[in-house]
DNA sequence: CGTTCTTATGAGATCGAGTATCAATCAAGG
DNA sequence: CCTTGATTGATACTCGATCTCATAAGAACG
C-alpha cells in the first residue's frame, strides 16, 4: 500500500510547488487544495491562514524559546538570552534547504516579509520581558537597557541567519558566537584586564583602520594559544 | 454655507468613532461609509485598506525621514540617525490626543499592533542602510555594527514614545535626548581621557581564542577612528 | 452658451481569504 | 453489528479589496 504522506505535508508540498511556479499571490487556496487532492476546508483546519503554510512551526519554536528562558540559569540575563537565541538559529540550520526556499519567498512577497518581521518582534518581546524581570530593577533606564539588549541580540541573530540564508556564511555557528560576543562586550564592556601574568599587551600606532591591524593580531593570538 | 470638511476627514472621523463604540473588527467598511454618508468605493480611493484609516500619514513621515537622512551632515552616522529619529517623535507629540487614541487601538487590536511593528521596521531599515553607506566599510562586522546601531536607535525612540503615549513621561523630549545619548555612549564608549601620543595600547587576558578578543578590539578601533 | 475634458463619486460585479455548519466517511472498540 | 469519535467534504456566508462603468460637477476653451 502506498502509505499516504500526512495531510499537512501534502498541502505544504503542493503549496510551495505552486508558489514557485506561479507566485504567491497568484496562487489561491483552491489551487493548493486541488493540487493536493483535498478540500478547501481541510486546508484551513491544518493552517490558520494561507501564510501559515510558509511558517508552519513558528508557534512551537516560540514556545520552545520561552521554556528555555524560564529554565535558564546563567550569570547574566544577557548571556541567558544570547544562549537561547542559538536555539532559533539551530532550528533554521537544521531545516537546511527548506529554510532557504522560504527565504526566497519572504524576500519576494511583501505580505510574507511583513509577517516574518512580526514574528521576529515576538521573540524580541520575549527577550525583553525576560531581561526586565531578571534585572528586577523597574526604573526607566533599566527598562531602556532591557530594550536595547533584546533588540541587539535579535539583530545579531538575524544578521547571521540572513547571511547564511543568502549563502554568505560558511560557518554560521561560529559567526553567531562572534556576533553575540560582540553584543555582550557592547553592554558589559571589555573583560577586565587581569594584571600580572596571563595578560597580553599589544602596542601599535593608532589611526590605522581596524582591518589593517586585526589580521596580524589574530595570527599572533592563534599561535599563542598553541604554545 | 456649511463648508463640508474634507472627505478623508469625514471618513476617519466616522471610522474612529465606530472603532471606539463597537471595536475595530466589529466595524465593517460599509459601516464606516454609511456613517460618513459616502460610498464604499470612495473609502478605498482615500485609504488603501481599512487599517490605513488608523495610520494615515505614515508614508509621508517615512519619506520625510528619508529626505532628512540624505541631506544630513553630521560627524558620525549614529548622531545623524539619532537626530533624525527625533522628527518621528515630534510628529507624534504634535498629534497629541490623536496619537494616544491610536495607541489605545494598537494596544488592543492585534492586526493593528502587527502593522505598527512592520512600520517601525521600515524606519529601522532606512537607518541601517544609511549607516552602512555612511561607513563605507562593507565588511561583515561593519554590517553587524550598522544593524545594532539602527536597532538601538529605534528601540530608544520607541521606548520613550510608548512611555509618553502611556502618560508616563512628562518630558519626552528630554527623555529621548537622554536615551539617544545612552545609545551613543554605548557604541562610542565614554568620552576618552585624551591618550598621549598616537599610540594605542590594548590590554586583555591571554589564553582566549582570537575570536573572543577581536570583536571588542575591532569595535574599539572603529569608534576611535570616528572620534 | 455650449462643448469637451477632467475629476470625484456612486453603483454594482467579482475575487479571494477566512469562518461556520452540517453531512459523510472511516476507524476503533465493545 | 453497532456506537462513538475524529477527520474530511460540501456549501453558504461575511468581509476586505479590486475593477468596471456610469454619472455628476465643475473648469477651460471656443
Asked if residue B211 is part of any domain, the answer here is no
Asked if residue B131 is part of any domain, the answer here is yes
Number of domains in chain B: 2
Asked if residue B227 is part of any domain, the answer here is no
**Subunit contact B221:A203, Cβ cutoff 8 A:** no
Please check whether residues B132 and B184 belong to one and the same domain. Answer: yes
Distance in angstroms: CA A19, C1' D20: 29
Backbone angles phi, psi at B154, to 5 degrees: -65, -40
pLDDT of B49-63, one tens digit each?
999 999 988 999 999
Summary mean pLDDT of chain A: 86
- CATH number of the domain at A34, please: 1.10.10.60
d(CA A184, CA A82): 8
| A116 and A86 Cβ atoms separated by less than 8 Å | no
Please check whether residues A169 and A86 belong to one and the same domain. Answer: yes
**Subunit contact B186:A187, Cβ cutoff 8 A:** yes
Q: Is the pLDDT of residue A131 over 50?
A: yes
Please check whether residues A115 and A46 belong to one and the same domain. Answer: no
Q: Which nucleotide is nearest to B42 (CA to C1')?
A: C9
**pLDDT by residue for chain B (227 residues), tens digit each?**
444 568 889 999 999 999 999 999 999 999 999 999 999 999 999 999 999 999 988 999 999 999 999 998 888 999 999 999 999 999 999 999 999 999 999 999 999 999 999 999 999 999 999 999 999 888 889 999 999 999 999 999 999 999 999 999 999 999 999 999 999 999 998 765 554 444 454 544 554 545 444 444 444 444 444 43
Give yes or no for CB of A23 within 7 Å of strand D.
no
Chain B, 59-118: which CBs lie within 7 Å of strand D? none
Asked if residue B220 is part of any domain, the answer here is no
Half-sphere exposure of B19 (CA within 13 A, CB side): 21
Please check whether residues A12 and A75 belong to one and the same domain. Answer: no
Instruction: Indicate the pTM of the whole model.
Output: 0.83
Residues of B in contact with A224 (CB under 8 A): 206
Please check whether residues B72 and B183 belong to one and the same domain. Answer: yes
**Using CB atoms, which residue from A156, A177, A194 is nearest to B144?**
A156
Distance in angstroms: CA B9, C1' C6: 24
Please check whether residues A83 and A184 belong to one and the same domain. Answer: yes
**Using CB atoms, which residue from A114, A144, A158 is nearest to B179?**
A144
Nearest residue to B142 via CA among A171, A163, A173, A191: A163
Query: Would you state the cell numbers that stand for residue A225, as one nine-digit string?
Result: 594559544
Please check whether residues B33 and B121 belong to one and the same domain. Answer: no
Asked if residue A207 is part of any domain, the answer here is no
pLDDT of B178-194, one tens digit each?
999 999 999 998 765 55
Domain boundary among A188, A203, A220: A188
Asked if residue A65 is part of any domain, the answer here is yes
Q: Is the pLDDT of residue A13 over 80?
A: yes
Q: What is the mean predicted confidence (pLDDT) over A10-22?
A: 96
Please check whether residues A138 and A71 belong to one and the same domain. Answer: yes
Sign of torsion, CA A10 A11 A12 A13?
positive
Asked if residue B214 is part of any domain, the answer here is no
| B213 and B219 Cβ atoms separated by less than 8 Å | no
Query: What's residue A197's pLDDT?
Result: 47
Q: Find the helix or strand (DSSP H, E) in which A204 lies.
A: strand A199-205
Choose the mutation target among B159, B166, B201, B227 for the interface with A, i.e. most A CBs under 10 Å.
B159
Please check whether residues B28 and B114 belong to one and the same domain. Answer: no
Residues of B in contact with A155 (CB under 8 A): 144, 147-148, 151
| B78 and B131 Cβ atoms separated by less than 8 Å | yes
Please check whether residues A150 and A104 belong to one and the same domain. Answer: yes
- CATH number of the domain at B129, please: 1.10.357.10
d(CA B210, CA A178): 10
> What domain range is A18 assigned to?
7-52
List protein-proximal bases of chain D (any atom < 7 A from a CB).
7-12, 14-20
- The three-state secondary structure class of B169 is coil
Please check whether residues B76 and B20 belong to one and the same domain. Answer: no
The vertex-A78 CA angle with A72 and A79, nearest 5°, equals 55
Nearest residue to B191 via CA among B226, B144, B147, B146: B226
Please check whether residues B185 and B76 belong to one and the same domain. Answer: yes
Amino acid at each position: 500500500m502506498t502509505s499516504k504522506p500526512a495531510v499537512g505535508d501534502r498541502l505544504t508540498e503542493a503549496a510551495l510547488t505552486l508558489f514557485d511556479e506561479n507566485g504567491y499571490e497568484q496562487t489561491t487556496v483552491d489551487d493548493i487544495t486541488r493540487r493536493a487532492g483535498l478540500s478547501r476546508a481541510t486546508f484551513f483546519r491544518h493552517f490558520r491562514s494561507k501564510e501559515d503554510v510558509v511558517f508552519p512551526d513558528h508557534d512551537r519554536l516560540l514556545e520552545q524559546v520561552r521554556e528555555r528562558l524560564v529554565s535558564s540559569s546563567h550569570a547574566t540575563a544577557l548571556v541567558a538570552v544570547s544562549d537561547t537565541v542559538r536555539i532559533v538559529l539551530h532550528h533554521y540550520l537544521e531545516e537546511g534547504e527548506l529554510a532557504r526556499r522560504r527565504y526566497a519567498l519572504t524576500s519576494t512577497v511583501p505580505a510574507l516579509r511583513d509577517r516574518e518581521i512580526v514574528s521576529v518582534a515576538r521573540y524580541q518581546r520575549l527577550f525583553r520581558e525576560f531581561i526586565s524581570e531578571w534585572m528586577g530593577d523597574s526604573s526607566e533606564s533599566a527598562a531602556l537597557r532591557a530594550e536595547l539588549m533584546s533588540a541587539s541580540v535579535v539583530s545579531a541573530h538575524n544578521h547571521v541567519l540572513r547571511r547564511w540564508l543568502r549563502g554568505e556564511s560558511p560557518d554560521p555557528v561560529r559567526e553567531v558566537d562572534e556576533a553575540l560576543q560582540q553584543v555582550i562586550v557592547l553592554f558589559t564592556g571589555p573583560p577586565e584586564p587581569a594584571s600580572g601574568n596571563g595578560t597580553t599587551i599589544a602596542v601599535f600606532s593608532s589611526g590605522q583602520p581596524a582591518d589593517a591591524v586585526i589580521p596580524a593580531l589574530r595570527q599572533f593570538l592563534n599561535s599563542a594559544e598553541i604554545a
